[in-house]
Copies of this chain bind each other. A is one copy, B any other.
């Protein structure tokens, strides 16, 4: 599931942030088998590597048929992206469509120690 690619940070010594927002994320609820729809925001401060945008798109597409909970998805995306680009900081925000009359948002973050 994880073919994420990276490219070299063009200003490795500078502290700057990159945000990618994907309002077209969909996965499957493992309880009901019905699709979930979310907006995923990736916000990070690169160290030596940046996440390549096209591979990020395909990485998200791989969740389309996967049965997985909101909390797990958000943390899994964080783990996978941290593993591949080793950022100084990273935050994943997932915002989900109405289920049972309620909307949900999950925020998970990482800071390099």
Q: A-side interface residues toward B, CB under 8 Å?
A: 9-11, 14-24, 26, 34-35, 37, 50, 53-54, 56-57, 61, 64, 69-72, 74-75, 97-109
Contact = CB atoms under 8 A, between A and B. Distances in A.
Nearest to A72: B10
How many copies, total?
A: 10
A87 to B, nearest CB: 13
Contacts of A106: 16-19
A13 to B, nearest CB: 11
Contacts of A19: 104-107
Contact of A17 (B15, B103, B107): B107
Given A35-B24, A64-B35, A57 B10 contact: no
